[in-house]
């Protein structure tokens, strides 16, 4: 019994953002502001073909007509879109053959983050495409992937080298006019990842990208496109950490997944953007549009561990278009201090015999607000659709809030939908039980939280599960008494 509740709370509050540092790399940054010239300039800088420039401009024009959404259960000072620089790339951008050639300062950054490229290469067999301020710097394991015909590169590279694939799929799942932030992203996206798995290929390793926001006042607009052709399989990992900043930073990413007939995509995220300090100052705004399209017998599985960001607005969705397709969503969202999260999923059942599962675990502590917002929609043609949703919230302290906003819209009589939600705190009897068996309160809490999130943690690939568990501990240890 080393801790009292007060002590634990105090320790938690003073827990500074561990990854809050700033790497001084010369950046090639465009002037602040957004207009058609900037959009054209971004496109030019990236040496993009004309159709791409035109595509961006169309999105930009649509964006100008749109209004920022206000329905989410979050409050924040709206970013001034004219006060953001829409492009920044590390200046020194040579091609590397080995890690020795990489800017040592950059490597140092990764070391602080605990990402050892060597180690990952050797141990985990993960190909890491590191995106630092929007431009991909190092790509590994490309060769192994190339042998299988798998394309895994930055999206700007893909636009150059595989324009036909990009042109065919970009914006098909998240149309460029989909919503305010998706339109903004479509107009100004600087970089991101592109992945194509050919027919019948099972990707031999977990693909992963690390995103970081580095340059002060730089918005980050990632664009990810994953295409799994018929009968293929890919597991994609995405993890984020961002350095400490006083000024709010905007992150508006778009992720599109396309799973063709019989394909399977597993998309896992660990998000740990800077959440702001304990007074709620600073932190990243995370406004993300993630959506996957399932063709016949395809499966898309979203797994996310959200611990960071001051404001999160994120709904990874599945459009179950093909018959017998499956959508899954596993999420842990942790909010502390003044963090606000409004996250959830959408499962759109269009095809017959489609199935979806939603497991969402929300943990709120401090003065944070944590909302689950989800939609399960069954169209009149979607016979035998099946959905199971479970949203559990854990509250720690009486200054935080947990909210559930599920929308269920069913137009088919053969649909079977189950939704359940619970809100509770860690039971005193649970802690007592552990204490009784010689487990101290803090360990007991860790144990219980771990058990609470287990269903989701289990869905993460090995490499991530460890990291995610660590993150949960950092975010939560000592926040209950």
Partner 1 sequence: MDLKEKLVSSFLAFEDGLDLDNPVHEVRSAAIKNFEEKGFPSKKEEAWKYTSLNSIQKVDFSIFPKKETALEYKDIKKYFLHEIDTYKIVFVDGVYSSYLSETTHDGVDVCLMSSAFSKPMFRQVIEVYFNKAASKDESLTSLNTAFSKEGAYIYIPKNKMPKKPIQILHLATGNEAALMLQPRNLVVAEDNAEVQIIERHQSLTDNEVFTNSVTEIFAGKDAIVDYYKVQNDASTASLVDNTYISQKDSSVVRVHTFSLGGKLIRNNLNFYQNGERIDSTLKGVTILGDKQHVDHHTLVHHAQPNCESHQDYKGIFGDSSTGVFNGKIIVDKIAQKTDAFQQNNNILLSDKATINSKPQLEIFADDVKCSHGCTIGQLDEDALFYLRSRGIPQKEAKALLMYAFANNVLESVRIPELKARINKLIADKLGVRVGFDL
C-beta of 174 vs 396, nearer to partner 1? 396
Question: Of 298-357, which residues contact partner 1 (CB under 8 A)?
Answer: none
Cα–Cα separations (whole angstroms), residue 82 to 29, 86, 213, 252, 254: 15, 9, 19, 15, 20
Does the footprint of partner 1 cover residue 415 (CB under 8 A)? yes
E strands, 96-143, in order: 127-132, 135-139
Pick the piece of the chain touching partner 1 (CB under 8 A) from 19-27, 93-101, 402-410, 453-461: 402-410
Tell me which of 244, 357, 412, 469 binds partner 1, using CB under 8 A.
412
Shortest Å distance, C-beta 133 to partner 1: 38
Q: Tell me how far apart the alpha carbons of residues 469 and 242 are, in angstroms, rounded to a whole number.
A: 18
Q: Which residues, 6 or more positions from 142, have their beta carbon under 8 angstroms from its beta carbon?
A: 127, 152, 153
The whole-angstrom separation of Cα 452 and Cα 220 is: 33
Q: How far is CA 379 from CA 354, 384, 405, 414, in A?
A: 11, 11, 20, 11
Asked if 418 touches partner 1 (CB under 8 A), the answer is: yes
Asked whether position 168 contacts partner 1 by CB under 8 A, the answer is: no
Among 323, 317, 375, which Cα is nearest to 354's? 323
4, 91, 416, 458: residue in contact with partner 1 (rule CB under 8 A): 416
Nearer to partner 1 by C-beta: 13 or 467?
13
398 part of the interface to partner 1, by CB under 8 A:
yes
Segment 55 to 84, residues that bind partner 1, using CB under 8 A: 71
Number of residues that bind partner 1 (CB under 8 A): 34
Q: Would you say 250 or 402 has its CB closer to partner 1?
A: 402
What sign has the CA pseudo-torsion 439, 451, 371, 333? positive
Q: Does 413 bind partner 1 (CB under 8 A)?
A: yes
4 contributes a contact to partner 1 by CB under 8 A: no
Stretch that binds partner 1, among 272-280, 337-345, 399-407, 469-477 (CB under 8 A): 399-407
Q: According to CB under 8 A, which residues from 373 to 392 bind partner 1?
A: 380
Q: Is 92 in the site for partner 1 (CB under 8 A)?
A: no
Q: Which is nearer to partner 1, 314 or 373 (CB)?
A: 373
Cβ closer to partner 1: 35 or 416? 416
Interaction of residue 198 with partner 1, rule CB under 8 A: no
- Estimate to the nearest angstrom the gap between the alpha carbon of 327 and the chain centroid: 17
Under rule CB under 8 A, residue 448 binds partner 1:
no
Among 10, 44, 111, 399, binds partner 1 (CB under 8 A): 399
Instruction: Map residue 10 onto helix, strand or coil.
Output: helix
Contacts of 165 (CB under 8 A, 6+ apart): 151, 158, 194, 196, 227
Among 408, 434, 439, 447, binds partner 1 (CB under 8 A): 408
* Minimum distance of partner 1 from residue 428's CB (angstroms): 9
Question: 428: part of which helix (H) or strand (E)?
Answer: helix 428-436
CA angle 94, 156, 191 (to 5 degrees): 90
Report the distance separating Cα 128 and Cα 136, nearest Å. Answer: 10
Residue 478 near partner 1 by CB under 8 A = no
Cα–Cα dist 224/222, whole Å: 6
Q: Which helix (H) or strand (E) holds 14?
A: helix 5-14
CB 361 within 8 A of CB 329: no
What DSSP string describes 77-109? PPP-GGGSB--EEES-----SSGGGS-HHHHHH
Does 401 help bind partner 1 (rule: CB under 8 A)? yes
Q: Which of 21, 22, 51, 407 binds partner 1 (CB under 8 A)?
A: 407
Applying CB under 8 A, which of residues 252, 396, 448, 457 lies at the interface with partner 1? 396
Using DSSP's 3-state secondary structure scheme, residue 23 falls into: coil
Cα three-residue angle 188-309-178, rounded to 5 degrees: 40
- Kindly state the smallest distance separating residue 408's Cβ from partner 1, in Å: 4
Pick one of 40, 66, 205, 421: the residue that binds partner 1 (CB under 8 A): 421
Which is nearer to partner 1, 193 or 371 (by Cβ)? 371
Contact between 395 and partner 1 per CB under 8 A:
yes
Closest approach of partner 1 to the CB of residue 421, in Å: 5
The secondary structure of residue 21, as a DSSP letter, is -
Candidate residues 64, 80, 422, 458; the one interacting with partner 1 per rule CB under 8 A = 422
- Candidates 29, 53, 160, 423; binder of partner 1 (CB under 8 A) is 423
Among 41, 57, 99, 417, binds partner 1 (CB under 8 A): 417
The answer to the question of residue 393 lying near partner 1 (CB under 8 A) is: yes
Site for partner 1, rule CB under 8 A: 71, 380, 393, 395-425
């Amino acid at each position: 019994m080393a801790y009292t509740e007060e002590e634990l709370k105090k320790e938690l509050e003073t827990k500074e953002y561990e990854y809050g540092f700033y790497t001084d790399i010369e950046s090639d940054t465009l002037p602040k502001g957004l207009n058609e010239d900037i959009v054209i300039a971004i496109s030019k800088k990236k040496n993009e073909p004309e159709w791409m420039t035109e595509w961006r401009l169309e999105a930009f024009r649509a964006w100008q007509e749109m209004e920022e959404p206000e329905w989410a259960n979050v409050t924040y000072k709206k970013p001034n879109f004219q006060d953001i620089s829409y492009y920044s790339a590390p200046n020194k951008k040579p091609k590397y053959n080995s890690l020795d050639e990489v800017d040592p300062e950059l490597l140092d950054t990764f070391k602080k983050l605990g990402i050892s490229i060597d180690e990952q290469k050797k141990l985990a067999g993960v190909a890491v495409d590191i995106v630092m301020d929007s431009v991909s710097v190092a790509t590994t394991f490309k060769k192994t992937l190339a042998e299988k015909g798998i394309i895994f590169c930055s999206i700007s590279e893909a636009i150059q080298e595989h324009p036909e694939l990009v042109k065919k799929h970009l914006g098909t799942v998240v149309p460029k006019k989909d919503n305010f932030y998706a339109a903004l992203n479509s107009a100004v996206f600087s970089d991101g990842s592109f992945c194509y798995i050919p027919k019948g290929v099972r990707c031999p390793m977990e693909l992963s990208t690390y995103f970081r926001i580095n340059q002060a006042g730089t918005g980050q607009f990632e664009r990810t496109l994953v295409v799994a052709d018929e009968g293929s399989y890919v597991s994609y990992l995405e993890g984020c950490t961002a350095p400490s900043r006083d000024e709010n930073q905007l992150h508006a990413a778009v992720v599109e997944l396309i799973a063709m007939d019989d394909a399977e995509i597993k998309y896992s995220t660990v998000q740990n953007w800077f959440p702001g300090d304990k007074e709620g100052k600073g932190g990243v705004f995370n406004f993300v549009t993630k959506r996957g399209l399932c063709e016949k017998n395809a499966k898309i599985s979203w797994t996310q561990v959200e611990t960071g960001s001051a404001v999160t607005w994120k709904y990874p969705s599945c459009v179950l278009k093909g018959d017998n397709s499956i959508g899954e969503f596993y999420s842990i969202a942790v909010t502390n201090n003044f963090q606000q999260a409004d996250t959830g999923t959408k499962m759109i059942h269009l095809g017959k015999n489609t199935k979806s599962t939603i497991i969402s675990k929300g943990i709120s502590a401090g003065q944070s607000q944590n909302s689950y917002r989800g939609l399960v929609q069954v169209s009149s043609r979607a016979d035998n659709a099946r959905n199971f949703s479970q949203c559990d919230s854990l509250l720690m302290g009486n200054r935080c809030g947990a909210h559930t906003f599920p929308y269920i819209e069913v137009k088919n009589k053969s649909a079977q939908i189950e939704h359940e939600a619970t809100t509770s705190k860690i039971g005193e009897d649970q802690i007592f039980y552990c204490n009784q068996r010689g487990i101290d309160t803090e360990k007991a809490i860790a144990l219980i939280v771990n058990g609470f999130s287990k269903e989701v943690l289990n869905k993460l690939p090995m490499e991530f599960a460890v990291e995610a568990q660590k993150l949960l501990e950092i975010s939560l240890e000592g926040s209950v008494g």
